Chain A
Amino acid sequence: MTRLRILTGVGATLALLAAGCSSGGDDGGPVELTFWHGYSEADGDVLEGIVDDFNASHDDITIDTELKTWDSIDDTLLTALSAGEGPGLVAMPAERLPVYAAKGAFASLDDFYADEASNTANLVPGAAAMEEVEGEKFGVPSGFVPLAVYYNTALFEAGGVSAFPQTWDEWVAASKQLTVDEDGDGTPEQYGVVLPDHATVANGLWPSLFYGNGGDIVDGEDAVIDSPENAETLEFWSDAIAADQISPTGVDGIGADELFSGGKAAMTVGGPWMASIAEENGIDYAIAPIPAGPAEQAASAIGVSMAVTVDTSSAEQAAAEEFLSFFLSEENSVKWSLGSGWPPLRTDVPAEAVAENPVVASLTEIAETGRPLLPGVVNSVDVLSAIDELTQKAVAGEDVDTLLGEAQAEIQAALDD
């Protein structure tokens, strides 16, 4: 009797667990959709506002946002989706999209892009390129901004640098002028610039420098990092960092933010959040594009993508697409841009429309120089770690040609994976 009761209890528990794991179907009723995102600052408030407007104007759809850190989205999405408990809509750093898409976690949005009502026709081309994996679109951009130089205007004035440098040579010269070693102990108290040698902001510093000299990392399915242009770039910058001491060594992206916000570096390469960090720390700042390299002016872009997960029913996918086109409408594009501090995602939003936010206005001016980082590369983890190893060792003074050869082999192996 007792055993029977226990077994029945266990059976019931398992049945409940199984029921909890299954997702709702298409019953034609109102659709509820969970949306995971990591926008936690002013950008989060604007996003909530857009979602509220959407919910208010759509009786049959409710979108519930869930704020998580970007890292925790990446760490929990896999388990949540495999347990059938994942969100319907998710935002994530753009370079993480291809791996999820390639593993079948996201729904294809090709039909959505083909629909005129989707508001995707005028997307910034670089931003749209981040969403493509093996010729298919799997996401919609929610952010695309080229890395830019944020500089401390007070330190520029004190150091006698009146104009922001336009070329690499001018950049190094200005940095030298702004580097101060007061006590002459060989370790400057103030650096002209902070150039991290690994885990750089959005992993984009060194790619930006490579592009500036006409180099690249990946071309389609081929690794192209081992090129004379990239060798030149690495030699030029590691020399400036190590010999001229324009930047500290062994710093990562977070360390760079800290040095700049602590007033110990006159320039840093970063994203729009540097504006609010500078304000919080009472630093007078200005924004400028990364100075042009010998070949061109280009910068790697920080990208965020939104995708619809495979957990959704067709009604839920339709609801998610409805929201995406609402988000990309001209009105919301402007609202999102002004509130988040990121430049508009549509090319047809005129610069005057965002002029009231000076950060957005400056970033919009340089938006064209932005290039997506490793679009469509599924195994970006290994590619990025090969780049980190390359730059860290190059700055430490190892032989650039050997390092490039090794990086080339590692990146090619990651692409062939």
Chain B
Amino acid sequence: MSADHPPVRRYRPPAPLGGRRRATGSPTGRGVKAFLFLAPALIILGLFVVWPMISALRLSFTDASGFGREEWVGLENYVTVFTDPDILSAVTNTALYTLLFTPTAVIAALGLALLLNSPHMPFRSFFRTALFVPFVVSFAVAAFAWSYLIDPQVGLLNYWLRGAGIQMGNVLEDPGLAMPAVALVAVWKLFGFYFVIFLAGLQDIPSSLYEAARIDGAGPWSRLRHVTLPLLSNTMAFVLVFATIAALQAFDQIYVMTGGGPYGHTQTVVMEIYESGFKKLDIGFASALSYVLLVATLILSLVQFVFFGRKEKDMA
């Protein structure tokens, strides 16, 4: 370009509502004020999150049962976590559940978000609301409802399928089908939330990019691959991390629908934590297992963030 091109003005963000004001008071005074505004939240977080976490960490090195008598046992609980065959099988079950739940929920949410983002879709608002409704229902209620729906004796689903000549059998008592069944209930219950997040992400993508792509001759598939998906990678990272965390914490519907059965096939890590803590009263071991799960979740989340963060950077 030429040198006489008018100089580009430096970008200045618009003034916040109420106009710009000079900060008043000394820096220390401002710090105190900020702290006071934060204090209620900090106190609640401290009392109900940080303090229990510190207590649980301490308990994980003891044989605590919750009734006062507790002895320091060092790393014994952690050694058991990594050597007990029951825990290993719970980890395998949780991994299977995560593999069944996360991709299904994320792909269903993304697919429906893409479909319902299209302005040509009739009854868009109705479908958007309808898909979000299961998320509002309590997990326990959803689990009870599904237990009845698929019950082999009185279940509606079985009744309909029988009409079509299909015998579904007792799904929740079938070692091969129980896990997919409880995972599907979670997909039904949770994907509405991921769907809304994807929808918000899709609406953030400027339509000018699609126009440019169209001018360049990109078809629908190319636009999805080269415009939509790359620009959704932040949203995707968020949804994937949330879905993975939800999967690793699977408990409610399993507790209600199968209780961990048939013979341990749906026994997840959180079910083990519950059983160790509240049935066997082994709070020390339950705390250790919780910490291992926490660290595993943290690592998985970080890996996902780094992976998708890099994709975003590559694109930029």
B residues within 8 A CB of A74? Answer: 278-279
Tell me, yes or no, whether A78 is within 8 Å of chain B by CB: yes
Main secondary structure of the interface of B (DSSP, over half): loop
CB distance from B265 to the nearest CB of A (A): 10
Q: Once the chains are docked, how many angstroms separate the CA of A258 from the CA of B147?
A: 15
Q: Once the chains are docked, how many angstroms separate the CA of A416 from the CA of B80?
A: 14
B residues within 8 A CB of A78? Answer: 65-66, 277-278, 281, 283
What is the total number of residues of chain B having a CB less than 8 Å from a CB of chain A?
Answer: 26
Q: Digit string of B68-90 for contact with A (CB within 8 Å is 1, else 0)?
A: 11000000000000000000000
Given A3-B36, A103-B281, A381-B280, CB of A81 within 8 Å of CB of B66: yes
Among the 9-residue stretches A50-58, A219-227, A273-281, A386-394, the one with 4 or more Cβ atoms under 8 Å from chain B is A386-394
Tell me, yes or no, whether B222 is within 8 Å of chain A by CB: no
> Do A105 and B170 have beta carbons less than 8 Å apart?
no
Main secondary structure of the interface of A (DSSP, over half): helix
B residues within 8 A CB of A10? Answer: 43
A-B contact count (CB 8 A): 67
> Do A82 and B264 have beta carbons less than 8 Å apart?
no
Given A75-B278, A255-B153, A379-B280, CB of A310 within 8 Å of CB of B36: no
Q: Once the chains are docked, how many angstroms separate the CA of A320 from the CA of B261?
A: 39
Q: State which residues 235-288 of B face A: CB under 8 Å.
A: 259, 261-264, 275, 277-281, 283
> Do B67 and A310 have beta carbons less than 8 Å apart?
yes
Tell me, yes or no, whether B300 is within 8 Å of chain A by CB: no
> Do A388 and B263 have beta carbons less than 8 Å apart?
yes
> Do B263 and A392 have beta carbons less than 8 Å apart?
yes
The listed residue (A2, A99, A103, A388) touching B261 by CB distance below 8 A is A388
Tell me, yes or no, whether B39 is within 8 Å of chain A by CB: yes
> Do B67 and A199 have beta carbons less than 8 Å apart?
no
A residues within 8 A CB of B68? Answer: 82, 104, 310
Known A104-B65, A388-B263; 5 more pairs at CB < 8 Å: A3-B32, A6-B36, A100-B281, A250-B152, A250-B173
Q: Which 8 A-B pairs have the closest CB atoms?
A: A103-B65, A389-B263, A82-B66, A250-B173, A250-B170, A103-B281, A381-B279, A104-B67
Q: Could you tell me which A residues sit within 8 Å of B by CB distance?
A: 2-3, 6, 10, 74-75, 78-79, 81-82, 99-100, 103-105, 198-199, 250, 255, 258-259, 310, 379, 381-382, 385, 388-389, 392-393
